[in-house]
Amino acid sequence: MIVWSHPEFSITHTICMPKYLFLLLVLAACSGEHHEKKTVAAAKEQKHDTVAVARKPEIPANDTLTAIASLIAGNIDHSALFAQVTDNSDYRSFRENFSKRWKTFDSTRIKKLNDFRVAHLEKDVTPNKTLFYPFSGPDILYAQLFFPYAERYVLVGLEPVGTLPRFSNGKPDSLKDYYHTINTSLNAILNFSFFRTESMHDDLHNNEVNGTLHLLFLFLSRTGNTIVSATPITVDSAGHTQNLASFEAMREARLKTKGVRIQFKTKSNDMKELLYFSVNAADYNLQGNPGFVSYLKSFQSFDVYLKGASYLLHKSTFAVLRGILLNGANAIVQDDSGIALKYFESGKWKFRLYGHYSKPIQMFAKHYQPLLDSMYHQQGSTQLDFGLGYNYRDKNSNFMVITKEPQ
């Protein structure tokens, strides 16, 4: 195991003036008044421009946490803090290979996702400060790509939070195993667009990579963010988050809710917050965890993203979470594995359909929705030029942008 921010013009005696002189004076006055208005307007504009370009105070990043994130992501050539890692041949091999892999992913898939967001999501979805992404695993990547304006990302999954890797001052004993596991854990999200629950159980429950922290840090680093803080948290019975002493202590503690709050700074110096909670969201568990339910209900309005959600919200056994989403969401962006069409109250929601709806893959065949199939045929849909969700192949994926109608 690797241990590791104007003079007024008054016409008083004009009756005695020759007509042409009077006209000249009027014109001169108007010219002076016009010049003054232009000057005032220019001054206002200059003042406005000065305010607009004023730089925000630089948010200080945590150099150690940022370096750790960069090491996990293979995103740094040399670190004075962790020279024993960056000079290691296993790290350098991972950095070289993964950088090529990420460059390809960035220039192909990320570009398509960004283009789609600009062309469609930004027109239909009113920006909201909070994005709620249940069944996400460590997928902060797609959350940021589709909802870059969010200030708070709330992710929920079964996977453990884990502990921060602490690269020791001595030579790491198993960097090769660590980076092999990191590489393996990314296969599904980079190739298919979603994390597979079964794979995550193995990939994030081992000595090398023991939770979502590793991949959360990796994606934040690779998308140009720096880490300001990372704090282990829980949620008390009143629905308030509480900081914990350490990730190691949280890992061993018997708590209903285990989570992490990561504050990070974007490339444009905006402070954002990522909260990941390791929680079983089935009714039987949430009914025994009223504090966490209160916490989720405290977000008065938010956007929702659902992808690769195992059709859990189709089931009667996930009614508590489904009710929270339908009551509090302004917009729900999902594939067919999210909330089933039958649960959306008629006349309350507007649907924009993308891609092609076909029967779910064999594993989830029983969750085929005739109502959704009919909607796709009757309403029509916009072409989707990338694959997403379980039917991840191009021209075989579906995508829905569902917005709440004004009441």
Convert the pLDDT of each residue in 136-182 to its tens digit.
999 999 999 999 999 999 999 999 999 988 776 444 557 888 888 88
Residue scoring higher pLDDT (197 or 369):
369
pLDDT number for residue 188? 65
Instruction: Give the model confidence (pLDDT) of 22-41 as tens digits.
Output: 333 333 334 444 444 444 44
Report the chain's mean pLDDT, rounded to a whole number: 83
Place 387 in a pLDDT band, splitting at 50, 70 and 90.
Answer: confident
Residue with more model confidence, 126 or 9: 126
User: Which whole-number Å values give the CA distances from 62 to 40, 48, 263, in the listed order?
Assistant: 45, 34, 10
Confidence (pTM): 0.83
Provide the percentage of residues in the chain whose pLDDT is more than 90: 61
State the pLDDT at residue 196.
47
Amino acid at 139: D
Question: Contact 162/210 with Cβ under 8 angstroms?
Answer: yes
Mean of pLDDT values over 99-126: 89
* Paired residues of 274 in beta bridges: 153, 262
d(CA 212, CA 62): 20
Flag whether pLDDT at 302 surpasses 90: yes
Give the residue carrying structure tokens 């990372």. Answer: 230
* C-beta separation of 305 from 147 below 8 A: yes
Q: How confident is the model over 101-119, as a mean pLDDT?
A: 88
With a cut of 80, say whether residue 86 has pLDDT above it. Answer: yes
Tokens matching residue 287: 């009914």
Give me the pLDDT at residue 266, please.
96
**pLDDT for the residue numbered 388:** 81
> Rounded mean pLDDT of 42-59?
56
Instruction: Choose from 47-56, 289-298, 385-394 the range with maximum mean pLDDT.
Output: 289-298
Confidence of residue 295 (pLDDT cuts 50, 70, 90): very high
pLDDT above 70 covers a percentage of the chain that reads 79
113: which 2 tokens?
A: 């996702």
- Give CA–CA dist 242/240, Å, rounded: 6
Q: Tell me how far apart the alpha carbons of residues 161 and 283 are, in angstroms, rounded to a whole number.
A: 22
- What's the Cα-to-Cα distance from 276 to each of 160, 212, 214, 223, 342, rounded to whole Å? 10, 8, 12, 18, 29
C-alpha span between 212 and 310 (Å, rounded)? 19
- Supply the pLDDT for residue 181: 86
List, for residues 341-372, the tens digit of each pLDDT value: 999 999 999 999 999 998 898 999 999 999 99
Q: 291 vs 219, 236, 323, CA distance in Å?
A: 29, 6, 16
Model confidence at 204, pLDDT cuts 50, 70, 90, reads low
Mean per-residue pLDDT, 78-95? 91
For residue 259, the one-letter residue type is: G
Mean pLDDT (whole number) for 58-67: 92
Task: Please check the confidence at residue 195 and state whether its pLDDT lies above 60.
Answer: no
In angstroms, rounded to a whole number, what is the distance separating the alpha carbons of residues 276 and 214? 12
Dist. CA 332–CA 361, nearest whole Å: 22
The β-bridge partners of 259 are 233, 277
Q: What is the pLDDT of residue 54?
A: 60
pLDDT by residue (tens digit) across 132-148?
A: 999 999 999 999 999 99
pLDDT attached to residue 15: 32
pLDDT at residue 207 greater than cutoff 90:
no
The secondary element (H helix, E strand) that includes residue 34 is: helix 19-53
Identify which of 203, 338, 360 has the alpha carbon closest to the alpha carbon of residue 195. 203
| Spatial distance between the Cα atoms of 79 and 64, rounded to a whole number of angstroms | 10
